[in-house]
Chain A
Amino acid sequence: MSESKPTPKKISRRTFLKYTAAVVGAAAVVGAATYYFTISKAPMVAGKKVIRWWQLIQSAKNLQFAQQAVGALFEREHPDVKIVPAVYEYPAYQAALITAVEGGNPPELATVNNVWMAQFAAAGYLEPLDDRIKEAGIKKEEFFPGAWDSCVWRGKTYGIPLDVGVWAFLYYNRDLFKQAGYDPDKDFPKTWEELIDMGKEMKKTLPAGVYPMALGAGLDAYTCVLYNLFLRTRGQMDIADRETLKANVNTPENHDALQFYKDLMEISQPGFLTQWEPETSLLFASGKAAMTLDGEWMSDTFNVKGPSNWDVADLPPPGGERYGKGPGVAIGSFGGWNLVIFKEAKYKDLVWEFIQFLLKPENMWNIVTLTPAKIEVAKEFIATKKKRPEIIMGTLSRSPPHCAYWAVGWAEISRIQHNTVQDICSGRKTIEQAIADEENAINAVLAKEPR
């Protein structure tokens, strides 16, 4: 298997030089190309003040274009400014943001999830905005109470709400209701009990592959907001006490809420424990589920891709024997995005100007990913875009932010809630056991809260 016969020294030196030249040449080309392309950095335009604006991506319309359009308007009034928008996808956004801030290089303007506010504020990332707010005359009454609350931590305001959303509404497919033998208006469930019983009946009458409910418990953030919805509609507003920093789970409300979640699993599609919004909304949109619970922003998607005859209603109250009573209306879990200024950002005054610019109704309208946070703007927004605007406005106005949103350890608490639901729904633990574990776990997390 020997290769060609080796030749005497002289020629091999020549071949050696040949090969060396080739290698060096290749390295030079590659190095030069790399160097050349590194000059093409982000559009840092010389001499201008650059405001990097990070936001969550939006699916229904191309948010980048809207961002660029609004940015261009602002640039016209401030010729020495360049707005550089960037969008991020939800799962990766928090990682990118935390890394940038910890790395000392935060974007000048970013939207922050309302449940990250406590964590960011406690970490010292955010600039308190109280003085600026007073000076600019921004009134908190203009915004949904749930939205404004999420911006306040330990008495200081760290952000301005941009957009909001609430979990969750009961979307239902009128055609499938009829197909299962129910009148979508007359037979619509008025209590949790009726919903479960109707679902069980529907299981028998709906064709194979079509389910009464599309729901899941597959992601912390998703599971806990549904859990919160049930908890609040059953009458308990929070999973822990903000003053005493102790879990508040040994309650009949919590018990009933969890029981309801477990019962919903029985009338839902298989694959409950590891599925969440992408799958459940897909099932509903493709006409394979008669009902689903989702936020108001899904109206846009269902309009485009959904079943032809869908409708939306509030979650009925527990209203009765099996699940106890509640306040009688649906109270949801308020999510949303707030505009913040990072402590290490440059040009803070300029960014503040830009924030106020964005809060103008016409601008807000275009750049939100959910529903605008200002009540008046939201009213119009919902009226023009969504079905049943009164229902949506009602729940939006009533709902507080997610349970324990005020806790720095919110993410850990939401994971605990998620695991509790999974333990119960899978039958691995009884509700009592799970609640006991939940209590210990939440207390352990709250023990770490700064006091």
Chain B
Amino acid sequence: MPAPFKKGDTIIAIFFLLPIIIFLSALFFYPLFQVLWLSFTSFSSFKGPQRFVGLENYLKAIGSPILGIVLRNTIILTFFVVFVDFLVGLGIALLLNEKFKGRDIIRALIVLPWAMPGVVAAYLWKFMFNPELGLLNAFLLSIGAIKGCVAWLDNPTTAMIALITSYVWKGSPFMIIMYLAALQTVPEEMLDAAVIDGAGFWQKLRYIILPHISPIINITILLATFWTFNYFELVWVMTGGGPYESTQIFPTYIYQSAFLWRDFSLASVFAVFDSLLLIIFGITFILVRKVRF
């Protein structure tokens, strides 16, 4: 609950926030508007004059099958990644909050996947999934779970699962750290009181812990969704959008249209679709979860 409203508060707030606003506007909104503008033109160059074509680019994109494919893939990927991220993040945070030997070292190690450059993590995981030389197949073969070498990345379904795994490995430390920090704010006396009243672990979780860290949960899920949706390194290196575009997602398609095909109008159109989707998701989420500012 915010403290009682005082008259000077608005002024103070503006004073604090003004630098950020100016900074962001200058640095961020100019490119944003330029990209928006580009999506309505037929691209020739960034500095020269461009030919305005109205909605033509958008209609073309809507008409082409790739938009639907990219949409479907990105949504599926993001949904599962964030979902598993959340469960894994919360679970591990709860675990790491307990006392046990070696806890400190494990806590420090847990950040490493997140800190690794995306390209490197992608090569690492691509190698883990390598049919002939990778660890996964070697392990499965040794326990007899599979007979021959399975090419995980060659089949759309297993490729998606493989990608989800690597995304979660790379991204869950963010949730873990945030939830670990948030768990610190849960008042101990409430938990003790609950124990006295006979509450078990799940009740404590549901009625005390989760409500208390709810703001952080909201933030992390929103952020994780935005970042996962736009993260391109893992898919780019591991599958390149294949096989046959079954793992092509928004960020990789945008990168491809921009830097391989030099079609910045197309890239801008897809970027706008990308952002619109995220805005819709964000607003829906904020309303449903009643996120307060």
Do A and B share a direct contact in the complex (Cβ within 8 angstroms)?
yes
Residues of A within 8 A of B (CB): 1, 94-95, 98-99, 102-104, 119, 123-124, 209, 211, 218-220, 269-274, 279, 282-283, 288, 409, 411-412, 415, 418-419, 422-423, 426, 428
B residues lining the A interface (CB < 8 Å):
44-47, 130-133, 148-151, 153-154, 159, 187-189, 238-240, 242-245, 255-256, 258-262
Q: A270-B149, A274-B159 are in contact. Are A104 and B47 (CB under 8 A)?
A: yes
Q: Contact check, B45 vs A98: say whether CB atoms are below 8 A apart.
A: no
CB within 8 Å for A123 and B130 given contacts A218-B242, A270-B150, A419-B245 = no
Residues from chain B with Cβ under 8 Å of A419 in the complex = 244-245
Chain B residues in 8 Å Cβ range of A411: 260-262
Shortest distance in angstroms between A294's beta carbon and chain B's nearest beta carbon? 18
Q: Do A269 and B132 contact each other (CB < 8 Å), given the known contacts A274-B151, A412-B261, A422-B244?
A: yes
Establish whether residues A288 and B262, one from each chain, have CB atoms under 8 Å apart when the complex forms. Answer: no
Is B189 a contact of A271 with CB atoms below 8 Å? no
Cα distance A422–B154 in the bound complex, in angstroms:
10
Q: Are A270 and B151 in contact (CB under 8 A)?
A: yes
**A219's contact among B131, B154, B240, by CB below 8 Å, is which?**
B240
What DSSP secondary structure best describes chain A's contact surface?
Answer: helix
Main secondary structure of the interface of B (DSSP, over half): loop
- Establish whether residues A422 and B242, one from each chain, have CB atoms under 8 Å apart when the complex forms: yes
Asked if B153 and A274 make an inter-chain contact with CB atoms under 8 angstroms apart, the answer reads yes
Given A104-B47, A123-B45: A274 touches B132 (CB 8 Å cut-off): no
Residues of A within 8 A of B148 (CB): 270
* B residues in contact with A269, CB < 8 Å: 131-132, 149
Question: Would A218 and B240 count as touching, CB distance under 8 A?
Answer: yes
A102 touches B47 (CB 8 A): yes
The A/B interface has a contact count, at CB < 8 Å, of 84
| Cβ contacts A to B, 29 pairs, < 8 Å | A98-B262, A99-B259, A102-B45, A104-B47, A119-B262, A123-B44, A123-B262, A209-B132, A211-B132, A220-B240, A220-B260, A269-B131, A270-B132, A270-B151, A271-B130, A271-B131, A271-B132, A273-B243, A274-B151, A274-B239, A279-B130, A282-B133, A288-B132, A411-B261, A412-B261, A422-B242, A426-B154, A426-B243, A426-B244
By a CB distance below 8 angstroms, the chain A residues around B244 are: 419, 422-423, 426, 428
Chain B residue contacts of A271, Cβ below 8 A: 130-132, 149, 151, 153-154
Q: A271-B130, A271-B151, A274-B154 are in contact. Are A102 and B46 (CB under 8 A)?
A: yes
Q: How far is the CB of A417 from chain B (nearest CB, A)?
A: 12
10 closest residue pairs by CB, A with B: A271-B151, A271-B131, A95-B259, A273-B154, A274-B153, A270-B131, A270-B151, A273-B243, A411-B260, A422-B244
Residue among A1, A94, A269, A270 with most chain B CB within 10 A: A270
List, in ascending order, chain A residues with CB within 8 A of B153's CB.
271, 273-274
> With A283-B132, A422-B242 known to touch, is A409 a contact of B151 (CB < 8 Å)?
no
Give A91 Cβ to nearest chain B Cβ, in Å: 8
| B185 to A: closest C-beta gap in Å | 10
Chain B nearest Cβ from A419, distance in angstroms: 5
- Give the residues in chain A near B262, CB-CB below 8 Å: 98, 119, 123, 411
- Please give 19 more A-B residue pairs, beta carbons under 8 A apart, in addition to A102-B45, A270-B132, A422-B243: A95-B258, A95-B259, A99-B259, A102-B46, A102-B47, A103-B46, A104-B47, A123-B45, A211-B132, A270-B148, A270-B150, A270-B151, A273-B153, A274-B159, A274-B242, A274-B243, A288-B132, A409-B261, A412-B261
Residues in A with CB closer than 8 Å to B260 are 94, 220, 411, 415
A101–B69 Cα distance when bound, in Å, is 32
